[in-house]
Structure 1
C-alpha cells in the first residue's frame, strides 16, 4: 500500500468512527424512548413525549444525531472512500454518489430520500407536530439503512 493509500484509509477510519458514534447515540436515544413508546409513534405518544423533558431531550437527540450523521457521511466519509479507491473527487456530488452506487455502497435514490429528510430537519419542525412525528418515524425506519452503508464501507476498506 502506498503512503497516500494509508493516509486515505486513516481518513476513512476516522470518518467511520465519527459516523458510528452518531449512529450509536441515535440508537441509544431510540432505545430510551422505546422503554415507554413503540415505533412508529402516533400522535398520542408524541404528545406524551413532548410533555416529558427527558423524552423530549431524547427526541431532540435523535434529530440532532441523524443530522450530524448525514453531514459526516455526505461531506466527509463518501469523499474519503473515493480517495481511498483512487477516484477523483473533484466532481459534482451526484457523480460521487453515482460512483458509490457502482461500488454497491449506496442506492442514490435512497440517499436522496435520507438527504431530503435531513434537509427537512434543518427547517423548524417544532411548530408542526405532524412533521415532527413523521421525521422521528422516518429516522427510526432509516437507521438500519445508514448502518448498512457504514458496514459496507468498513468491509470495503477492510477496517476492523
Structure 2
C-alpha cells in the first residue's frame, strides 16, 4: 500500500512525539519512585536536578512538537488548509473536529509548562507546587497524544 506524503509526514510526526512521550513517561515514573517532597525540592542534589531537567525538557519538546509538527500534519492529512491558520486556530479546528476536548485546555497545559520551566520562584513550596501541576499536565499531554494515536488508527 502506497502512503501519501501527508500520511508519511503524519507517521514521522507521531514517531517523533512518541519518542518524547516515552522519555517523559520514564521521567514521570522516576519522579514518582523518588517520592520527592517539598523539603527535597528545597535542597536538590545533582541527580534530582538532572531528573527535573529531563522532565522539563521532554515535556517542552513533546508539547512543542505536537503543536508545531503533529497538529499541522494531522490537519493536512484530514484535508484541512493549515497554511492560513494560526496555532490557536489549529487547536480550535481540532476541537471542532472532535480531536481535542478543548482548545483552551491545550493553552492551560502550555501555561503550566511555562510556569514550571521558565519561572523560578524563591519559595520552595511554590516551586514544588508548580512541579506537581506540571506532573499532572504532562500526564494530560501524554493522554492527548494517545487519543490522537487511537483516532488515527481508526
Q: Which position in structure 2 is the counterpart of 1:69?
A: 62
Unaligned runs of 5+ in 1: none
Q: Look up the match of 2:109.
A: 114
- Give yes or no for contact 1:30–1:58 (8 Å, CA) kept in 2: no
Say if 2:13 is the partner of 1:18: no
Contact 1:46 1:133 in 2 (8 A): yes
**Structure 2 counterpart of 1:140, from 106, 112, 135:** 135
Q: Deviations over 1:77-130 (max 9, x none)?
A: 110100000001021222111110112222111101011123334535275634
Matches within 5 A, 1:1-160: 6-37=4-35, 42-48=37-43, 50=44, 52-89=45-82, 90-106=84-100, 107-121=102-116, 123-125=118-120, 129-158=124-153
Match of 1:79, SS state, is helix
Runs of 4 or more, structure 1, over 6 Å off, are none
CA distance in 2: counterparts of 1:30 and 1:152, whole angstroms: 19
CA gap 1:126/1:21 in 2 versus in 1, 3 angstroms: farther
- Tell me: higher relative CO, structure 1 or 2? Use CA pairs within 8 A at least 6 residues apart: 1
TM-score for the superposition, normalised by structure 2: 0.84
Output the CA distance in 2 between the equivalents of 1:114 and 1:141.
9
SS of the equivalent of 2:128 reads: helix
CA offset digits 1:23-82 (Å, max 9, x no partner): 111121122222231xxx54213125x1x2112210111111111111101111110100
Give, in whole Å, the separation in 2 of the partners of 1:126 and 1:45.
16
Secondary structure of the residue aligned to 2:4 is helix
Contact between 1:8 and 1:80, CA under 8 Å: does it hold in 2? yes
How many residues matched?
Answer: 152
